[in-house]
Every structure is written in structure tokens, then in C-alpha cells.
Amino acid sequence: MIKTFPIFLFFIILSCAKNFDKLNIMEVSPPSTAKIEGKHAIFISKKNFNQINQIKSESCESWALKLNFEKPIKKSIENLVNNMFKDFEIVDQKLEKEKIEGDGFVSQVSFYDFNGNSKFKTVRNTGMYQISLDIKIEVSNSSKRVTNDISSSMNWEKNIFLNCNLQSGAVKSGQKALENLIERIYETTYESVSQLKR
């Protein structure tokens, strides 16, 4: 009986421990897109996604908040580019105007300044969370340039006494914010490329 007690205690502790890493942001599938004609240069910045967390309460297990948008957001953009453009080339830097035309590109589409800002606080008995994702998109050719700031925000609220888990809520709202962001990136990119052709 004494020998089995430590093993029994170990399994009790293990079953009570929570695995916060199971809840992660995933890449999103691109929306149905109209194919853009012509050859285009695509630049996706390699700079790290800049995530700022402003946690003002210890409720809802906020100490365990861990979100990683770095890979999901860039992979989602790659998937979108694959669906949007018939002919494209990934480049490792923004090209000069002369280079865009000289290499036969209709346009260069640049995705950069990836940022995220999340805030959590409690107001009376309610945990309140907000996530905002931001990105810059620049579409240019030898004579024109269109730059857009794209943003997507989502909110999540939960009574702090009713199984309030910030990681779970943050992932749900973050996932939805990413889906909306990719949708807006598509619409904005398509409109910007169309503007250059006029």
C-alpha cells in the first residue's frame, strides 16, 4: 500500500495539471479568390511578428497566456498568394522601381510590419480581452505605389468565476481575428493591383 501511494499521488497531480500548449493559433485557409493575371513579385518580410501583451489582471489564469502568430500569419499569407496569383516569384527584399519593370513584373506586392496587441483586464466580475492584428501592404510598379494599413480586432469576455480560461478565449478570438485579417488582405491586395492597372 505504501509503495503504490506515490504512484497514485503522481497520477492525481498529472491529471490536475493543465496543458496550455494545446491551444494554439493555426494557419487559415484562403478565401475563394479570383486569379490575378501577369507576373508579380511577392515580398513577405522575414522580420519577427511583434506581439505586445498588456495583462492588467491575474484572473482567468492570465499568467499562462501564450500566443504565437509568427508562423500562422505568414503561412496563411503564403497560402493566399498561391491562390491569388497565376504567376509570381517570391523575392527576399523590396525591389527598386527600375528592377520591377526590368524583370518583367506587373507589380510588386509587399507584406510587412506584422504586429499584434492584446489587452486583458477585469471589470467587476468580468474578464475582458481584446486582440488586434496589424499589417502593411504595399503594391507598386515602375510608376505607382499603393500602401494600406490593414487591421483586424476581436473581443472576448467571460465571468471570472465561470471556468474563465484566458488562453482558450484568446485563441478563439485570435483565430477569428486572423481569419478576418486574411480576408481583408485579399480584398485590399486585389483592389490595389487593379488600381495599378488603370
Q: What is the pLDDT of residue 20?
A: 40
Q: How many structural domains are present in the chain?
A: 1
Q: Establish if 131 belongs to a structural domain.
A: yes
13 has pLDDT over 90: no
CA distance 174 to 178: 6
- Per-residue model confidence as pLDDT tens digits over 146-177: 999 999 999 999 999 999 999 999 999 999 99
- Per-residue model confidence as pLDDT tens digits over 136-152: 999 999 888 999 999 99
17 has pLDDT over 80: no
Considering the chain, what percentage of its residues have pLDDT values greater than 70? Answer: 88
Question: What CATH number is attached to the domain comprising 103?
Answer: 3.30.160.150
Q: Establish if 24 belongs to a structural domain.
A: no
Split at pLDDT 50, 70, 90, the class of 180 is very high
Mean pLDDT over 65-81 rounds to 94
For the chain, the 3-state helix, strand and coil shares in percent, each to the nearest 5, are 40, 35, 25
Where are the strands (E) in the chain, listed by range? 36-44, 50-55, 85-91, 107-123, 126-140, 145-159
18 has pLDDT over 50: no
Q: Establish if 173 belongs to a structural domain.
A: yes
Q: Establish if 12 belongs to a structural domain.
A: no
CA distance 40 to 68: 29
Q: Establish if 55 belongs to a structural domain.
A: yes
Domain containing 151 equals: 31-197
Q: Establish if 191 belongs to a structural domain.
A: yes
Q: Establish if 75 belongs to a structural domain.
A: yes
Q: Directed axis angle between helix 166-197 and helix 70-84, to 10°?
A: 30
Q: Establish if 74 belongs to a structural domain.
A: yes
